[in-house]
Amino acid sequence: KAGVTQTPRYLIKTRGQQVTLSCSPISGHRSVSWYQQTPGQGLQFLFEYFSETQRNKGNFPGRFSGRQFSNSRSEMNVSTLELGDSALYLCASSLGVHSYNEQFFGPGTRLTVL
Amino acid sequence: AQSVTQLGSHVSVSEGALVLLRCNYSSSVPPYLFWYVQYPNQGLQLLLKYTSAATLVKGINGFEAEFKKSETSFHLTKPSAHMSDAAEYFCAVTLVTGANSKLTFGKGITLSVRP
């Protein structure tokens, strides 16, 4: 069974631009969560989607948004990029939304904002 | 709200020595606890998880952790370190009663293994 895939793996943008990251969950998984990883703040929860609905959201500004499609694939978008948005963005998928469901992580997308 | 504290940011051990990575949690309701490992330029891989069954949990690659409610701890151990164990380790918590999968992570500990 293929794991969680994220595209692109690396991305370089400039301040003010917007970016869209993609995540394909493991086949059969319906829940997708996104995390931001930075050296200073560590791993922080962005949001979670299940059946195309956002179920939970972290403390990030409205510039960060996401969506989930009917095939469970998910995208996250960051508008008006800032230098501080440079980070590794990790996507995780699980069978369902309950806390006992194991989350499987993708390799991440490394975003650099210049 | 739940939180995790991982004391220290870096641990160095000799190959063959005991590995002990500490994790303390704070939670108002029973927690589920996890240890993840991250190798350079990779995502997170689950090492083991505590989901209110046995308090001593065995994971992959010879790692285990013990849930101690009285100490609010979930320390990760391995009897004998191997060079391939060098990586970053994250402890995470989520709520048993939560209808969501949100994980709250500690800051992470970098494990170095000396030959």
Chunked mean pLDDT (size 10), chain B, 115 residues: 89 97 89 93 92 89 94 96 97 76 90 96
Q: What is the pLDDT of residue B87?
A: 97
Q: Rounded to whole angstroms, how far apart are CA atoms A18 and B96?
A: 37
- State percent of chain A over pLDDT 70: 98
Average pLDDT, chain A: 94
A90-to-A47, A101, A105, B109 alpha-carbon distances in Å: 11, 17, 7, 18
Lowest mean pLDDT among A5-19, A88-102, B4-18: A88-102
Q: Which residue of B has its CA nearest to A89?
A: B43
Q: What is the pLDDT of residue B29?
A: 79
Task: Say how far residue B20 (Cα) sits from the centre of its chain.
Answer: 10
Q: CB A99 to CB B100 under 8 A?
A: yes
**B29–A contact, CB cutoff 8 A:** no
The closest CB to that of B95, out of A31, A55, A99, belongs to: A99
Q: What is the pLDDT of residue B30?
A: 79
